[in-house]
Amino acid sequence: MPRRIDLHTHSTASDGTTPPARLVAEARAAGLDVLALTDHDTTAGWAEAADALPAGLSLVRGAEISCTAGGISLHLLAYLFDPDEPAFADRRHELRRSRLARAERMVGLLADDGHPVSWDQVQELAGGTVGRPHVAQALIDAGLVRSVEEAFTAEWIGTRGRYWVGKDDLEVLDAIRLVAGAGGVSVFAHPSASKRGRTVGDDVIVAMAEAGLAGLEVDHVDHDEDARRHLRGLAADLGLLVTGSSDFHGTNKAIPLARYVTDEASYDDLVSRATGLPVVAA
């Protein structure tokens, strides 16, 4: 039986709703052999996940880094990097600080319009890295919207929406170099997820490959067949590996663990390029 490998998931350390210990248990129950924990801009969930790792499951420690390229927001998956390497650790800290300031501003804009949401409440909803899904939950709790999906529209906190505030993200080419400098491997997360906002052109992916990008996340819920075909072709042309993953967020999104997976050869290739950290096996 080939190993079942899911390389992109979130826990309560960022905007998922499943604590890290439960996430690894659920991953094994879902039939996975390898799970990557990739919370937004943080490594805070790693220790709990590793301590609770069930027999038969391997843990890839990672993070999803908030990046920008020419004003377009994009996400970079960073795997198996040394969390103590200071240059990259400092930047993750800055990213989290920028997220705090911007979430507080979004709450302020909502409150200015008389909507009953408070910063205390949002901070309580966010156990780790704060994100728009926590603000969305506050909007649901206040009865202002019915779903996270509805909160992510132009009337509320959708990108460039009425109560949306941007954050200071990392230039993606700098991010790729920082990940490499910490011994890690980087993969471009959901490169063609157009429903979340603008996406970058192939020219940016070419530049990312030149800067040391290892792969493209192709099999993802936000990619249609055409996007996948195009990305697979691009990966082949640029010598990039291809991954697939659930981008699981617990009840914040409908997608289950292991919905999309990565093939064994790509996974082994990815791991072989890392020098920062080993994979954890129970």
Residue closer to ligand AMP (CB basis): 58 or 73:
73
Are β-strands 170-171 and 58-69 bridged in parallel, bridged antiparallel, or unpaired?
A: parallel
Residue closer to Fe ion (CB basis): 5 or 13:
13
List the single partner that 152 binds among Fe ion, ligand AMP, Zn ion, none, CB under 5 to 8 Å by kind.
Answer: ligand AMP
Distance between CA atoms of residues 58 and 67, nearest Å: 28
- The length of the chain in residues reads 282
> Residue 122's closest CA among 174, 108, 272?
108
DSSP string, 4-37: PEE--B--TTTT-SS-HHHHHHHHHHTT-SEEEE
* Residues forming the site for Zn ion (CB under 5 A): 64, 247
Please answer whether residues 61 and 277 qualify as being in contact, where contact means their C-beta atoms are separated by less than 8 angstroms: yes
Structure tokens at 243: 């991954």
Measured from the CB of residue 249, what is the shortest distance to Fe ion in angstroms? Answer: 6
Measured from the CB of residue 98, what is the shortest distance to ligand AMP in angstroms? Answer: 10
Site track 133-152 with ligand AMP (rule: CB under 6 A), x = hit: x--------------xx--x
Please answer whether residues 233 and 225 qualify as being in contact, where contact means their C-beta atoms are separated by less than 8 angstroms: no
Q: Which of residues 40-79 bind ligand AMP (CB under 6 A)?
A: 40
Measured from the CB of residue 129, what is the shortest distance to ligand AMP in angstroms? Answer: 8
List the single partner that 96 binds among Zn ion, Fe ion, ligand AMP, none, CB under 5 to 8 Å by kind.
Answer: none
Distance between CA atoms of residues 49 and 273, nearest Å: 23
Burial of 86 per CB tally in 10 Å (0-12, 13-18, 19+): exposed
Say whether residue 105 binds ligand AMP (CB under 6 A). Answer: no
Measured from the CB of residue 1, what is the shortest distance to Fe ion in angstroms? Answer: 29
- Residue 254: count of CB within 10 angstroms of its CB: 10
Residue closer to ligand AMP (CB basis): 177 or 196:
196
Residue closer to Zn ion (CB basis): 36 or 138:
36
Residue closer to Zn ion (CB basis): 110 or 172:
172
Measured from the CB of residue 203, what is the shortest distance to ligand AMP in angstroms? Answer: 24
- Ramachandran region of residue 167, left (φ > 0), alpha (ψ -120 to 50) or beta? beta
Measured from the CB of residue 56, what is the shortest distance to Fe ion in angstroms? Answer: 27
Q: Which of residues 5-44 bind ligand AMP (CB under 6 A)?
A: 15, 40
Binding site for ligand AMP (CB under 6 A): 15, 40, 131-133, 148-149, 152, 196, 249, 253
